[in-house]
Structure 1
C-alpha cells in the first residue's frame, strides 16, 4: 500500500504534523492530546505529535452554534446547547474512522513564491481535533498525525484558504512511484500544460465521465450504461485510494483481454489479488489499458503501473469494486495506481480535472 503524506505546521508556536493527503474527503484533522487510542509511535520513522489546543496561544474551540459548524452539518445539531463544542465524525471507505471536535488555529504551509522557490505562509483555519480513531488509523505501522482532505466542500482547507483570498481554488499532485514522494502544490500550474475533462456537477467526490476503455488499442464491448453517473455508479478519482476498483463486468472484460495470449497461465488468488509468475519485462509482455474521458482526454495505464511485484509473483492492481465497499460495486474508483508519475491538476474554479505524464 502506498501512502502519500505531507508536513504542515499548526499553532503558535507552530509544531509540525505529518498528514496523509486525501482527495476523497474534505476535512483536515490531527490527533489530539485527549485521544487515548491514538498511536504514539510510527513505523514510518517520523515523530508523531498530538495537538494540544491549550498549548497554542492562537488556538480556540468552535462551538456548535457558530457559522462554520452550522454550515458543515447543514443546520444546527439537535444536541446543540450554547458553548458546547462542534463535533465531527468521519468514516472512510476502508472502514477506518475519526471523531472529535473542531478548533481554529494558525496553519503554516509552504507556498510557491518563485521558480522552484517556496516561502512560509500563515492563515487561520478550522480543522478537526481527533479524540478517537478506529480501524487502520489506530495501527502504528503506517501511523500519521492525521488526514488532510482536499475535497470540494466549504469545510476543506483549500476552500477556507480560497475564501480568505489566500489562494486560487486549484491544486495539483505528482506521485513518484519510482523513488517515492512527489509534489503536492496549491495554486496555478504554469508548466506543463494539462488537457482536462469536466467534473460532474453536484457530486461530493471528484467524479468524471468515463466513456470507453481500450486494452491494447482494442475497445472493450461493454453494456451501454455501465459508466452512468447516477448515485451508485460513476467514476471517481481519489488520491487517498492506492489501487483501482471496477464493476465486475468491466474487471472481467479487462482480465480476459490482458491475459488473452496466456490462456493457460495459472492465476493464484492471494488476499483477493490475482497473481501469477512471469519472468520477462511486463511492459513487453502485457498491453496498455486506456481509459477515455469526456472531451477526448485519454489515460494510459502501463503494465508496470497496473501489475505490482509481490515476492516472486506479479499481481493485478485492479480489483472488483465490491471488495472495497459493498455500495461501490458498480463504480469505477481510480486511485494512485492510475495516476503515478503524472501531474494531476484539479481546477475547482473551472470545475475541470486533467493530467499529463511528468517526471515528478
Structure 2
C-alpha cells in the first residue's frame, strides 16, 4: 500500500510524493575532524521520475514561492522539524542520538556546519520554544492520515532598527491560533507583519533618502547603490525572551539582483489569508550564525559565528569532546545534490551526530 504525503511550508511552497523506508548513509565521528562510515534506516518522502528532476528534490511534485524556479524552491529541505515523522525525531527515538542539532549556514562561502548532539563550544544563549505551535494551512499526510506540522516558534519582545526601537505590542506577533515567531531554515527570506514591516523598511530607507526605488516582480523593493552597505544602512536587531538577541546586518538583509540591491524583508500582510501577518524568519537572518535546537529542553538559541570554522561537540557516552568542521556544500545545485547533501550532513558518534 502506497502512502502519500503533502507538505506545505511556511512561505507557501509545497512538495508532494510518497513515503519510503530506506537506508541513509552517514559518517560516524571518531575523533577531531575524523569520521567512519555507518548507516541507519529512516522513513522519508521520495519519488521516481526521469533525470534531472529526480536529484533536485525528493518530492514528486513541488510548487514554488519567493520568485524562485521550481527546481530551486525546495532544494536543501532535509526534514528536521518537530514532527514525529521528521528525520531528527526518528533518529532520536532510537535512543542512540540526542534530540539536539545545530546548523551554521555560511552566507559568504556556501556550505557550513551541521551537527546532531550537544554543542559544547561556542556557548549559546537559549530562549524557550513556544509549545505545540501549528500553522492551520500546513498539512502533512503521514501514515496515510491528515495531520498538522508543528514549527519552531519563539516569543519576540522587540525590534530595533539602528538605535531606535519600533513601537508596537508583542502580541502583534500572534496571528490567529499561532503564537510567536517561526524560525525556519527552510525559508529563504523573512516575513514580517505589516505593522512591523512598514516602519522597519521606512527607517532603513530613511538613511538614504535620495535612492530611486524600483519594485520587481510586484514584491521586491530594489535600488542601485555602489558604496558600503554596512556603513550606509542600519542593523536590524530582534529581541526575544531571556535576553536573547538576533542581529541582522545590511549585507545580510539586502540581496543583489540584476545590478540592484533588493530588500529581503517581506510584508506578510500581503500574503494569503492563512499566512497573513505571520512572522517567519528564514535564512536571510539565520545565515552566518550557529543555531542550536535543543529539543530535549524545548529551547533554541544562536550566536554569530564563522561557519567556515569548526565547533566542539560532546560524546556523552565517553565524556570526550571532538571538533566538527565545516563542509562546502555549494555544489547542492548540481544533479546529485540530494545524495551528496545527505552523505555530508549526517554523521554520528553514538550519542551525537556531526560532520
Could you tell me the TM-score, scaled by structure 1's length?
A: 0.71
Partner of residue 17 from structure 2, selected from 84, 100, 110: 100
Unmatched segments (≥5 aa) in structure 1: 1-83
Partner of residue 301 from structure 1, selected from 240, 248, 261: 248
CA contact (8 A) 1:248 1:329 kept: no
Partner of residue 43 from structure 2, selected from 111, 118, 126: 126
**Structure 2 counterpart of 1:151:** 81
**Structure 1 counterpart of 2:110:** 180
- Alpha-carbon RMSD across the aligned residues, in angstroms, is 2.4
Larger Rg: 1
TM-aligned CA deviation for residue 295 of structure 1: 0.5
Structure-1 separation of matches of 2:71 and 2:21: 29
Partner of residue 164 from structure 2, selected from 215, 218, 221: 218
Structure-1 separation of matches of 2:75 and 2:265: 29
Unmatched segments (≥5 aa) in structure 2: 49-59, 134-149, 308-355
Structure-1 separation of matches of 2:272 and 2:165: 28
1:163 to 2:105 alignment: no
**Structure 2 counterpart of 1:260:** 206
Query: Which shifted more, 308-317 or 200-209?
Result: 308-317
Task: Indicate the structure whose relative CO is greater, using CA pairs within 8 Å and at least 6 residues apart.
Answer: 2
**Structure 1 counterpart of 2:237:** 290
**Structure 1 counterpart of 2:128:** 198
Runs of 4+ in 1 over 6 A off after TM superposition: 137-140, 143-146
CA contact (8 A) 1:246 1:330 kept: yes
Structure-1 separation of matches of 2:188 and 2:265: 10
Structure-2 separation of matches of 1:339 and 1:320: 18
1:115 to 2:62 alignment: no
Structure-1 separation of matches of 2:73 and 2:276: 29
CA contact (8 A) 2:21 2:43 kept: yes
CA contact (8 A) 1:111 1:186 kept: no
Distance verdict in 2 for CA 1:168–1:328, change over 3 Å: same
Report Cα offsets for 1:18-39 as digits up to 9, x if no partner: xxxxxxxxxxxxxxxxxxxxxx
Query: Which shifted more, 344-353 or 266-275?
Result: 266-275
Distance verdict in 2 for CA 1:308–1:338, change over 3 Å: same
CA contact (8 A) 1:308 1:314 kept: yes
TM-aligned CA deviation for residue 266 of structure 1: 2.5
SS, match of residue 222 in structure 1: coil
CA contact (8 A) 2:190 2:264 kept: yes
Structure-2 separation of matches of 1:286 and 1:116: 39
Partner of residue 153 from structure 2, selected from 203, 207, 212: 207
Structure-2 separation of matches of 1:227 and 1:129: 35
Partner of residue 242 from structure 1, selected from 188, 198, 218: 188
**Structure 1 counterpart of 2:6:** 89
TM-aligned CA deviation for residue 276 of structure 1: 1.4
TM-aligned CA deviation for residue 331 of structure 1: 1.3
Count of matched residue pairs: 277
SS, match of residue 168 in structure 1: coil
Could you tell me the TM-score, scaled by structure 2's length?
A: 0.72
